[in-house]
Structure formats: structure tokens, C-alpha cells
Structure 1
């Protein structure tokens, strides 16, 4: 999930907290339902077939075999190829939609044992494939004595001017390189990697590390002197990619509507993105597998959007290429983003719209949850994922995300601490139960919108 306009975690926290709407969804199941069950045959066509472990295997490949997937870089293209190959294996027609994205500055930190960490690099620092090798030291209280020819680790100042001064002081003291450690956010979220914004040109590498990178590095230093090799690269002329699979309606006319299930497949720099958002892709691919066996009254598209983390770029590009007639044909857009966290405080699956309004997407999934006896899903207001460009174009859309909100204090919300960090892994941040719940609810709600009416299927 992208941070609003790439602003700080603190600003995002205040925006989201102020905008969240919460409470009971208010749908009554037409027939009493045991949790996870429904007497409606159309629900059982989904619930009986979807499997969280299959979805998690897709998460495993994306987050472990491929790893970090920054928009426009090679690993995002590998992700796109994996998604396309999977959808083709299910029998879908698949196309790639490429679009330009801005340059990336990536830093690589190598340890003598071969361990590699990915960080953001400052454009105004040294950008070179030639490694800077040196011992790393942690500087506290901006005390830059005895840092000459060493790589300096700093807890970054909370202001832009503050950390620019830290870098200048380190350079003046003769440091061979600087690693600025992100801070913990105001809601307890661990800071992510970043490309430091500097006004001066320096001849040493300056990297922006995630909070946990810094903590891990301190632990290594406590075990003895730690030597690092820093290299960096400027990636230009980049293209990101959307992957689009189409299942045509069984009987198509000029009035046939279209429904989209879309999830972004990129991650931020330095994060394997298991929950954000390999989980959404895993859900999408598992539902694509199941839906391929059913006739639908509407055209169904499965879309993996590129570069969501860089400003919803893939979804924006997709919507911008549509004619007004094509926009009018889209009846509903389902966007799963972070749908499998194991974070204990993220207690509910939310169906979020940018303005908190209800639409066909929120209605269908809310009713599906009620039929299934599943009280997880709640409505809400959230404006920083791929549902936004569709909503802005007048197309009904909603985001699905696991989150927690303290009912006694609307200014407190809970998204997992480790999103956008190296700890967003299957081991640390994925729940099979949460994934199964999301598959059941979203899958049943989506099927209710697209299914082909036949005698007895109610």
C-alpha cells in the first residue's frame, strides 16, 4: 500500500485516523449461518474451492523467490511474468500494459558472509558500482569524533534540515559513508527505507535504511566490529507494468458490464512485501483459478497493477487509457491490499472507499460476510490504494485491508508495525486464517456480482 503522496508516516497517520469510519456493517443474513458456512449455493461454489495455502504459495514465490519488487526495476518485471504465466496456466488471455516511471536510486549493503540488504540511496551522494568498504560505527548525540574513514550509522533527525546537517557533519568529519536509520512512526510503525534528499553533492554514499535495518546493524556491531561494502546505482528510463487477464462474459452484448479484481504487485525498496501486497496478488490468483471454471454474466478482469507504491501509478495509467464508454462499462472494482496480516491488533477486514460511501462492492461483500456468518468485514473510509483512481473516475470501487480501530478513540488505528519493512515476510506477517477469511468474503461477494443466473442457483 502506498503512503499518501509519499508523505511522512506521521502525516499519513493523521489523515487516515481522521477519515476512518467504523462500526457494524448492519447486514442481516437472510438465512441463519454457521460461521464460514452459507446455505446459498453460489457462496459454496467459492468457499468450498478457495484455499488459503494455495494463495500463500503465490506469496511465497513473490516475496521469497523474487524478493523486493520496486516499481520499474527488474524484480517487478519478474513478478509480472510470474503472474502472467500463472494466469495463462488457468486458461486466461493475458496482456502486459507498460508505462513510464521516474528514476530510482538504490543502495546495496553487503556483508562479508554474502548477506545483502537493499536501501534507498541519495541522488546527491556517490552513485557507483565501486564498493566503499569500511567498518561501520554508530554515532549517538551527533558526536562525530573518531569516524574518519568509517561508515557512520545515524538515527536520522526528525526533520529534513536536521538530517541534512547530520550528513554534512559526518562528511566534514571524514566519514567514508553514511547510513541514516528511519524512525519509528507516531503509531508505532517501523520506518521504511528512503532515498535521502540532500542539497549538497557529496562524494560518499548516503543511504536511507529502514528502522529495523538499523537495529539489526547495531546488534551485529555489539557482536564485534562489522565491515560493510556499500554500492549504489541510478536506474533511469524505467517502465513499470500492469498485467491484465480477461474472462469474457458467457453471452456478451454491447451492454455487457465489466468487473475488475485488481491488486498491486510491486513493493517498496527493501521490503519483500509479503502482505503488502503479495497477499492481494495471491488472493487474486487463487480466485482466478476458481472463477475460470464458472460462467459469468459479466466480463471479468484480473489486473496486477505496477508501481502502486510510487503513487498508484499503474492504476492511474490504466484508468487514464480508458475511453468514457469503457469507464461506463465497468460496474465494480475490488482491490485487495494487505489482506493476510497476522498482526493481532488488525482485527477486522475493512471494505474502504475514498469517501466512506457504500457501493456495489461494499454491499456485495458485506452481504456475503453476513451470509457466511463471518463478522470480520466492516465499512470504512481510506484513500491511499488502487481503488482511488477508479473512484475518481466515477467507477464503484473499494479497498480490502485488515486493520484495527479502537472504538473508544477514533484517532487510534492499527496496521501492522512491519509493513514497508524487511520484516514483511510470510514468517513474521502472514496469517492463513486471515487469508481464508478474505478469500471467502471477497470471493463470494465478487461472485454475487458477476455470476450467471441459472435456475436453482439461489
Structure 2
């Protein structure tokens, strides 16, 4: 028996040594952004371009609903139609509620899930869908001081149709109870990562994000204000934050681009390849070949930032 025990102990010691030395593989450690990457990969490689009103947009919506239903969230689809020229097209938003149950105050976190036909829409905008889905999972067991509505907008690429429909159907009471709207769009390709907000005190969510980034050593920036059309810290009304801003709701907007280039308006994303969004280059394959490590790094930063901001907003209430 003693001999057997000695053999067992020796075996455990040997196994531990092998494990420590790396001879026995440990389960790979998951980092913030890893799950977001899996979502981006599925949306772009399994589904592909997700043109507004197309079968692929519907497939993407079904995928998002399925992923949200795995979490402790109330999920519903908000159907809408829009007319362009003589054509009427059907689409829908996906709304998932993380219910505090003790307050009517809410934060809306949104991103569009459709894309243009060129490329596969990895940067614009599967990236943001992936980050929000991972963040929703990260916050699943956390108690926040307000409700969170994760909203995935359809038909953004044809005139912000989904976000306009959602904002225009908010009641006065809901608008009053909305602490802020955080929009994410095109997070992968740009040379730098940014957050924007409103002017003055309306930029408090942006300022909160920048303060967190400084403490966490995340290289988050804001628009430096080189172009007088877009004062420092702000941006244009060309993404899904715009309809909420028009309602008087405080907004913040995360993206990756490079405000030093081109017309210095944020549209030229990279020094090496110019704009990637709305081109054939908007694929994971291109981004990972031309910018090694950037996809994973940006997903890590944005997932962490969104999670931290949503957690720390309580300090501002």
C-alpha cells in the first residue's frame, strides 16, 4: 500500500511538473474580444454580406436573436418597413432588455447588423455586433443601477432606417428616462480607436470613457478637432447615434478610424489602405493579412471599454 501511495504521489508530482513546463496543454484562456471575434467570424464567413432587406440580413437577425436568448434577457423584434423610390422593404430591429426591475432609467447600447454588398461587412459592422453580444454576456450576472437595452438596428446602410424607427417610436417618458445612448460602428480597420460625445456637458459619457481608458492604459482617443466642422470630442450625424441625439438624448459613439488623414473628418480609416468600410476589403481575411493583430486588439479594447463604461455609469447617476 505504501509503495502504491508513493507511486501515486510521484505520478502527481511528475504530472504537475509537465503541466508547469507546458508539456501538457492547459485549456486556452479566454480574453475579452475572443467571443466577439467568433461572432464576427460567423456573421461574415457563414452568412456573408447582409444587405438591408435581404435574406442574409434576416439570417443575421435570427443569429443575433438566438445568441441573446441564451442570456437572461427579454428579447423581441421590432419590425418596420421603409420606402426608397418606388420600393418598400421590410426589416427589423432586435431589442434585448437587461431589466433592473427597480427603475425606469435606461441606457441604450446600439449597433447596426446590416452591411453593404461589397466585402463581407467585418469592420462595418459585424465588429460592433460581436462586441455588444460579448458585453451582454459579460454583464449577464451583474446588477446595474439601471436597465440596459441592447438594440441591433436593421437597414442602417440605407439611411439609418432602423435607428430612426426606434427613436421615433420612443415615448416622451422613455426619452426622459434614457440616461444615454451608446453607439458602436466600424471597430476593426481604423488605425486608432475613438470615442465621441456631445458638446460640453453632453459629452459626459465620452469623458467617462476617456477617464477609464487613461486609468486602464487603453489607447482610446477622441476627435482632436482639426476640422472646424467637427469640434474636438464630437463627430458627424452619420451613424445610429444621430436619431437619438436629435431627440435630445446624450450620446456616445465608439469607432476605429484616423482623423489625421484625408479631409480630417474621420472617413479615411487607415494610412496604408485608406477607407476599408464599403469596399471589397471589408473582410476578416484582408484585415488580418494587412493589419496583423489589429482585429483582436481592437475587439479586446472595445469589449473591455463598453463593459467598464456600462458598469461605471452608476457613478454618474
> What is the TM-score with the length of structure 1 in the denominator?
0.55
Please list, as runs of the form range in 1=range in 2, the aligned pairs for 1:395-406 lying within 5 A after superposition: 395-406=249-260
Q: Deviations over 1:17-36 (max 9, x none)?
A: xxxxxxxxxxxxxxxxxxxx
Query: After the TM superposition, which segments of 4 or more aligned residues of structure 1 sit over 3 Å from their partners?
Result: 353-358, 407-413, 450-453
Partner of 1:248: 99
Partner of 2:68: 87
Are the counterparts in 1 of residues 97 and 150 from structure 2 also a CA contact under 8 Å?
yes
Q: How far is 1:327 from its partner?
A: 0.6
Q: 2-side partners of 1:303 and 1:412: how far apart? A: 24
Q: How far is 1:269 from its partner?
A: 2.1
Structure showing the higher helix proportion among its residues: 2
Q: How far is 1:437 from its partner?
A: 1.2
Q: How far is 1:85 from its partner?
A: 0.4
Partner of 2:216: 372
Partner of 1:442: 306
Q: Which of 398, 418, 431 does residue 276 from structure 2 map onto?
A: 418
Q: How far is 1:300 from its partner?
A: 0.7
Partner of 2:77: 96
Q: 1-side partners of 2:220 and 2:204: how far apart? A: 18
Partner of 2:180: 332
Are the counterparts in 2 of residues 333 and 398 from structure 1 also a CA contact under 8 Å?
yes
> What is the TM-score with the length of structure 2 in the denominator?
0.78
Partner of 2:147: 299
With a CA cutoff of 8 Å and minimum separation of 6, indicate the structure with the bigger relative contact order. Answer: 1
Q: How far is 1:428 from its partner?
A: 1.3
> Matched residue of 2:234: which SS?
strand
Structure showing the higher strand proportion among its residues: 1
Q: How far is 1:349 from its partner?
A: 1.6
Q: How far is 1:332 from its partner?
A: 1.1
| Structure showing greater Rg | 1
Q: 2-side partners of 1:412 and 1:262: how far apart? A: 20
Judged with a 3 Å threshold, the aligned counterparts in structure 2 of structure 1 residues 355 and 420 are, in CA distance, closer, same or farther, namely farther
> Matched residue of 1:405: which SS?
coil
Are the counterparts in 2 of residues 348 and 377 from structure 1 also a CA contact under 8 Å?
yes
Judged with a 3 Å threshold, the aligned counterparts in structure 2 of structure 1 residues 393 and 53 are, in CA distance, closer, same or farther, namely same
Partner of 2:118: 270
Q: 2-side partners of 1:74 and 1:410: how far apart? A: 36
Q: How far is 1:69 from its partner?
A: 0.7
Aligned residues: 269
Q: How far is 1:365 from its partner?
A: 0.9
Partner of 2:136: 288
Partner of 1:432: 296
Q: How far is 1:287 from its partner?
A: 0.1
Find out whether 1:69 has 2:37 as its counterpart: no
Partner of 2:194: 350
Judged with a 3 Å threshold, the aligned counterparts in structure 2 of structure 1 residues 360 and 425 are, in CA distance, closer, same or farther, namely same
Q: Which of 208, 229, 244 does residue 390 from structure 1 map onto?
A: 244
Q: Unpaired runs of 5+ in structure 1?
A: 1-47, 105-122, 124-235, 454-458
Q: 2-side partners of 1:102 and 1:311: how far apart? A: 11
Are the counterparts in 1 of residues 194 and 255 from structure 2 also a CA contact under 8 Å?
yes
> Matched residue of 2:69: which SS?
helix
Q: Deviations over 1:363-422 (max 9, x none)?
A: 221121112022323233222100000001000112211111229985786314221123
Judged with a 3 Å threshold, the aligned counterparts in structure 2 of structure 1 residues 409 and 282 are, in CA distance, closer, same or farther, namely closer
Q: Unpaired runs of 5+ in structure 2?
A: 1-28, 223-232, 289-294
Are the counterparts in 2 of residues 296 and 452 from structure 1 also a CA contact under 8 Å?
no
CA RMSD of aligned residues (A): 2.7
